[in-house]
Amino acid sequence: MSLASELDALASFTPAQFEDLRRNIDPVWIEEALKATRTATIRHRRLPAEQVVWLVIGMALLRDRSIHDVVAKLDLALPGSTPTVVPSSVAEARSRLGDEPMQWLFTRTANEWGKRSRFGAHGIWS
């Protein structure tokens, strides 16, 4: 299958399918990625670092939607006094996160999913 067809398949990803993916990415891995790369949310924010990781994954998979649509559809923002996330806060959150936690998480998921694949869906890793 070509890269173009793979990207087209990803573009058709739905929020429900995203939830399936969420079940296969252990939230502990995200915490570990943030700790290992010394990326943390120190103060209370509408989009803490953990949620920004999900935002970046969602943006990659739901690339035919706006960033704010991804935030809303995936219910990523913490409850607050405003119903939406301020547009500038999304860009700032992505900037604060950087690429190191995403690289760390990619390596972790690749290793874990590779083990599961190697031992089969019903093996010792399931």
User: For residue range 59-113, what is the model confidence (pLDDT) as tens digits?
Assistant: 887 777 887 777 777 766 656 655 566 767 788 888 889 999 999 999 998 898 8
What domain range includes position 40? 3-118
Could you tell me the two tokens for 57?
Answer: 């994954």
In a domain, 16, yes or no: yes
> How many domains does one find in the chain?
1
125, amino acid identity: W
- 31 inside domain: yes
Quote the tokens at residue 92.
Answer: 């700032």
Residue 18 confidence (pLDDT) above 50: yes
* Residues 26/28/33/34 CA torsion (nearest 10 deg): 130
- Band of residue 32 on the pLDDT scale cut at 50, 70, 90: very high
pLDDT value of position 66: 81
pLDDT of residue 125: 45
| 24 pLDDT tier (thresholds 50, 70, 90) | confident
Amino acid in the structure at residue 55: L
End-to-end CA distance of the chain: 28
Mean pLDDT, the chain, whole residue set: 75
pLDDT (0 to 100) of residue 104: 94
On whether residue 12 sits in a domain, the answer given is yes
C-alpha to C-alpha distances, 72 to 3, 54, 90, 116, nearest whole angstrom:
28, 12, 12, 32
Closest-CA residue to 74 (of 5, 21, 38, 113): 21
- Mean pLDDT for 37-55 is 77
115 pLDDT above the threshold of 50 = yes
Domain membership flag for residue 74: yes
pLDDT over 70 percentage in the chain: 60
Structural domain contains residue 95 = yes
> Is 125 within the bounds of a domain?
no
Residue 126 lies in a domain: no
124 domain-assigned: no
Give residue 93's pLDDT.
84
